[in-house]
A = this chain, B = another copy of it.
Amino acid sequence: MESEQLYSRGYSRTGYSSYNSITSASSDEELLDGAGTTMDFHTTEDDNLLDGDAASSPGSNYVMSNGGASSSTHLLDFLEEPIPGVGTYDDFHTIDWVREKCKDRERHRKINSKKKESAWEFSKSLYDAWSGWLVVTLTGLASGALAGLIDIAADWLNDLKEGVCLSAMWFNHEQCCWTSNETTFAERDKCPQWKSWAELILGQAEGPGSYIMNYFMYIYWALSFAFLAVCLVKVFAPYACGSGIPEIKTILSGFIIRGYLGKWTLLIKTITLVLAVASGLSLGKEGPLVHVACCCGNIFSYLFPKYSKNEAKKREVLSAASAAGVSVAFGAPIGGVLFSLEEVSYYFPLKTLWRSFFAALVAAFVLRSINPFGNSRLVLFYVEYHTPWYLFELLPFILLGVFGGLWGAFFIRANIAWCRRRKSTRFGKYPVLEVILVAAITAVVAFPNPYTRQNTSELIKELFTDCGPLESSQLCQYRSQMNGSKTFTETPNRPAGPGVYAAMWQLCLALIFKIIITIFTFGLKVPSGLFIPSMAIGAIAGRIVGIAMEQLAYYHHDWFLFKEWCEVGADCITPGLYAMVGAAACLGGVTRMTVSLVVIVFELTGGLEYIVPLMAAVMTSKWVGDAFGREGIYESHIRLNGYPFLDAKEEFTHTTLAREVMRPRRSDPPLAVLTQDDLSVAELQAVINETSYNGFPVIVSKESQRLVGFALRRDITIAVENARRKQEGIVLTSRVYFTQHAPTLPADSPRPLKLRSILDMSPFTVTDHTPMEIVVDIFRKLGLRQCLVTHNGRLLGIITKKDILRHMAQMANQDPESIMFN
C-alpha cells in the first residue's frame, strides 16, 4: 500500500515552532499529554481512512444523518439513525446550498435504487420524477387564476369609486355597458345602466353639485379601500405589504423567512392587493403578483416531500413561480422567465429554466382563458404600430433613457431616505394613519385630472396607443388639415388641436404629481408594486416628448432631418412609441433590469422592429442610473432591511485577503473550536452556552490545530439532547467523540457519546492568502454558509456569509452593523 507513504511521514515532530504567546489552561494541559496520546490518535483518527474498505461506505458522511437511512450498514450505532430535526434550519437563518443539494441527490439515489424492487416503488419513483412538473403546473394554474381574479376584482372595485351598474351590481363599468346593446363604440362609456354616484344620490348627472358629490364619493371609497387594506395587512399578515420582490430575492438566495410565502400571506395579499389597487394609490399589482405566485409555488411544494423537505429544491419551484408571476402580470412568458433569471433568481439550473418557461406559459394561458381584459389578448398593453421609426428619432429615445435613469436614481434615493426616516422616527409607528393620509392626498389631487383619476394601467394603455381613426381620446384631437376631407397634404404629421394642448397640460401635472406621490407610496404597509407607477411616469414623459416631436415635424417639416426621412402626407412620428420607450426607460431606471425588460416590452408589441429604440433607451437609462448608484430599488430595499443577500451581479473589487476578513480578528478571543475526542458532554455544552456561533470547527487537537470537520450548533444541541433522552449511560462526564472509533478510556469512565454522524467531514476551506474576490465568488457560486480559513494546514479562523456582507458594507463606507440576522 504505497499510497500510505504520504501520511506515514507524520511521525516526527512537525517543523513548526511555538510562538511564546499565552495559551489557555485547557490547551496547556493538552500540551503536556500531546506526545503520550500519539498512539491513541492513530487508532481513532485514521482508522476510517485506512480500514481498507474505502469504497465500501458509499454514502457520504455528510449526508448520513440528514437524508434518512444511510446505505452503509456495517456501523450499528444509535446516532447513525436520522435524528429528527438535524438538517433543518431556524427562522432567519441562511441555508447551506451544498448540504441541501447533497441531501436531494441522496434521496434521489435511494429512490432509484429501490425502483426495481416492486411496481409500487417504481410508480413512486415515477411520481417523484414527475412531481417537479406537477408542482410547476399547479403553480402556473393557480397564479393564472389568481391573477385573473385580481384583475376582475380590482376593475370592479375601481369602477365602484365612480358609480354602480344598476342591472347587475357585480359588473364593472365596461361590462355594464356591454350588455346595453344601444351603445356605439364611440360612446362605450356612456350607457343608461351605469349610474355615477351623483346620478344615483342626487339624481343629476351634470352640474357642480354632482361633480362635488362624485368627488366626495371617490375620496370616500378610496379611503375605505385603503383603510381596509392596511388594517387587514396589519392584523392578519404583516408580510403581505410591499412588493415582496426584495424579500423573494433574499429568500431565493438562501434565507429562511417563515410565513413569508404562507397561505395567510397569500390570502391577505390577494385581497388587499385588490383593495390597494382600487384605492387609487400610485401603485401597481405587477410586483405583488410575483409574490402571490411565489406563495402559490411554496404552498404547492408542500404537497411533495421532494420539495417541502429540501430548501434548495423549494427555491427551484419559487424561481419558476416568479417567472409565472411576471408572465401573468404582463402576459409575457419569455420575459417572465428572463426576469426570473436576471432579476430574482440566485440558483438557476437549466432544468429550472425549462420549468419556469412551462409555468409561465401555463399561467399565461389560464389568464387568457379567464380573459379579464375582455380582448382575448394575453398582454396587458397590446399595441400595434404601423409606421417604422427613423434613425434621427434615436436622439429623443436616448433623451428618454436619460430621463428614465435620472428618475430612477432620484426615486431610489428619495424613497430610501423616506423609508429610513419612517423606520427611525416614530412616524413609522402609525402605518394605518400614514396609508390613510397618502390615500387621501392621492384621491384629492387625482380626481380633478382625468389622467390621474383613471386606472393607471388604462392610462398607460391610452398613452401607448397610436391615434387611429377610431380613437376618441382627447390625445387624438388633431386638427384635420383639409377641413374634414381626408386628402393628403404636403406636410407630414398633423397639427395638434385644442384637445391635445389641454391633454399636454394635464399630462404635465399628472407627471409631477405621480413623481412626488410614488416616492411616498412605495413602502407603505399595503401591497404595492412599482412597475406600473414607473411605467406610467415614463409613458407620460414619453408621450409628451412624442407629441412635441410630432409638432416639431409638422411645423418645421422643411428641416433637413424631417425632409430627409418623413414621407409627405404620412405620419412620421408615432407618439405612442415614445410613450412605450419612455415607460421602458423609467422602469429600467428604477429596477436596472435590461434584457428581461426589453423582452417584456418586445412581447407587448410582438415586432422586432422596435427593439433597437427600446434597447437604446433602456441601456442609456441603466448607465445614467448606475452613474448615481449601482443598486436598483430592490437591492436598495434589501440593504435597507439588512437582509443577508449576497448579490451575484455586484463585483467585489477590493484587494483584501481572507485573513483580514475572517474571525477571530486580532483583538478577538480565540476561535471556539471542538476537539475530536477529548471533550466531555459538560464541556461541549459549556462551549455552546458560552458562545452564540452557529457552528464549531472540530480539530484533531488543540496543539496541532488540524481541521477534521465542522459541526452545526443546532445539530449538536439536538443530537446531545436526543442522546441523553434515548441512549442510556450518557451523563455530563461522558466523553464526546467525533472519530470513527471511541477513544481508549479508563475502565470506570461513563459510556462515550459518538457524534460523528452530525459532523460535516467536508467543510470548505480556503487559505488565509486567498483573495476575498475568490472567497466571495465561492460563496456566491456554491451558496455557502461559512468557510474555514487555514494557514499551511492549520485552522486559523472562519468566514461566514455575514462576515462577507459586513466586510463589503465596510468597504463601501456603509455601516457594517446594518447587516442583520445571522
Residues of A at the B interface (CB closer than 8 Å) are 1-24, 27, 31, 34-35, 37-39, 41-42, 45-46, 49-50, 54-55, 58-63, 71, 98, 101-102, 105, 108-109, 112, 333-334, 337, 341-342, 350, 353-354, 357-358, 361, 364-365, 378, 594-595, 598-599, 602-603, 606-608, 611-612, 615, 648-649, 651, 653, 655-660, 664-671, 700-709, 761-763, 765-771, 773-774, 777-778, 781-782, 790-797
The chain B residue sitting closest to A611, CB to CB, is B361
- If A333-B611, A668-B2, A782-B781 touch, whether A17 touches B10 (CB-CB below 8 Å) is yes
Residues of B within 8 A of A648 (CB): 350
B657, A60: Cβ atoms closer than 8 Å: yes
A21, B38: Cβ atoms closer than 8 Å: no
- Give this chain's copy count: 2
Show 27 A/B contacts (Cβ-Cβ < 8 Å), sorted by A.
A2-B668, A2-B670, A3-B664, A3-B668, A3-B797, A7-B19, A8-B19, A9-B27, A9-B31, A10-B704, A11-B16, A11-B703, A13-B35, A13-B703, A15-B45, A19-B42, A54-B660, A58-B656, A62-B770, A109-B653, A112-B653, A353-B594, A357-B594, A364-B608, A378-B608, A658-B762, A762-B767
The chain B residue sitting closest to A55, CB to CB, is B660
Cross-chain contact of A49 among B10, B61, B709, B791 (Cβ < 8 A) = B791
B656, A357: Cβ atoms closer than 8 Å: no
B105, A664: Cβ atoms closer than 8 Å: no
- If over half of A's interface residues share one DSSP class (helix, strand or loop), that class is named, otherwise mixed; here it is mixed
The docked-state distance in angstroms from the alpha carbon of A325 to that of B677 is: 61
Additional A-B contact list (15), CB under 8 Å, known A15-B38, A54-B659, A109-B653:
A3-B667, A3-B668, A5-B670, A8-B18, A9-B702, A10-B16, A11-B18, A15-B41, A60-B655, A61-B769, A354-B595, A658-B762, A762-B767, A762-B769, A765-B790
- If A361-B611, A667-B2 touch, whether A14 touches B706 (CB-CB below 8 Å) is yes
- If A60-B655, A60-B657 touch, whether A3 touches B666 (CB-CB below 8 Å) is yes
- If A16-B41, A60-B655 touch, whether A361 touches B612 (CB-CB below 8 Å) is yes
The chain B residue sitting closest to A618, CB to CB, is B354
Residues of B within 8 A of A707 (CB): 792-793
B778, A770: Cβ atoms closer than 8 Å: no
B771, A60: Cβ atoms closer than 8 Å: yes
B10, A794: Cβ atoms closer than 8 Å: yes
Residues of B within 8 A of A612 (CB): 361, 365
The docked-state distance in angstroms from the alpha carbon of A54 to that of B655 is: 12
Residues of B within 8 A of A595 (CB): 337, 353-354, 357
The docked-state distance in angstroms from the alpha carbon of A615 to that of B358 is: 8
Cross-chain contact of A666 among B1, B766, B771 (Cβ < 8 A) = B1
Closest approach, in angstroms, between the C-beta of A349 and any C-beta of chain B?
8
